[in-house]
Amino acid sequence: MNLTLGETVNFSKREGERAIMIYKLEPTVGMIRTRAYIGQHLQLYCSAMGKIYLAYDKNSDYLDEYWASHQDVIHKLTHNTITELGEMRKELEDISRKQYAMDKEENELGVVCLACPIFDFRGSVDYSVSVSMSVYKLQELGIQFFLKEIAQTARDISFELGYFPSDS
């Protein structure tokens, strides 16, 4: 995926109330590098992979619990960061419907990230894969160019973990 898209590929695991970056591969060409690093703890509210975990949490009360217990942490990193619960609820509904999340310059201006869920054999989402790129690259090539590859990679890994979507 890194070679096909020419952008940074990230892989994270959910650990409680955070996402942990467990893999990152920078492109061999180009100038854009992200600040993320392997072992980094990512907040759920302001990263594409974090929003995947919030959207697919099986506990229907989790968002309210998370929001209440993280008020000291939830703040605007850029003017695009979502800090209102109602707005986040709408964002997560959209993520569940579309099956991908986007960090719209919410961590760093000029950088966007697209993430897809990875399902295990129980249908739980404990992993996510994403691609980070410049906002200009996304505008130039379009979201579908990136999503096609990210979604296929997420599906392939999900199937390897024993996940088979139900037809209902």
Mean pLDDT (10-residue bins), the chain, 168 residues: 85 94 82 75 95 95 95 95 97 97 94 97 96 94 96 97 80
Please report whether residue 166 resides in a domain.
no
Residue 98 confidence (pLDDT): 97
Residue 168 confidence (pLDDT): 46
Could you tell me the two tokens for 37?
């690093």
CATH number at residue 101: 3.30.450.40
Residue 44 confidence (pLDDT): 96
Alpha carbon distance 49, 52 (integer Å): 5
Please report whether residue 56 resides in a domain.
yes
Q: What are 25's strand-pairing partners?
A: 9
Count: domains in the chain: 1
Asked whether 20 and 39 are in contact (CB, 8 A), the reply is yes
Please report whether residue 168 resides in a domain.
no
Residue 36 confidence (pLDDT): 75
Please report whether residue 167 resides in a domain.
no
How long is the chain? 168
Query: Does the predicted model carry a pTM greater than 0.85?
Result: yes
Range of the domain at 149: 2-160
Please report whether residue 45 resides in a domain.
yes
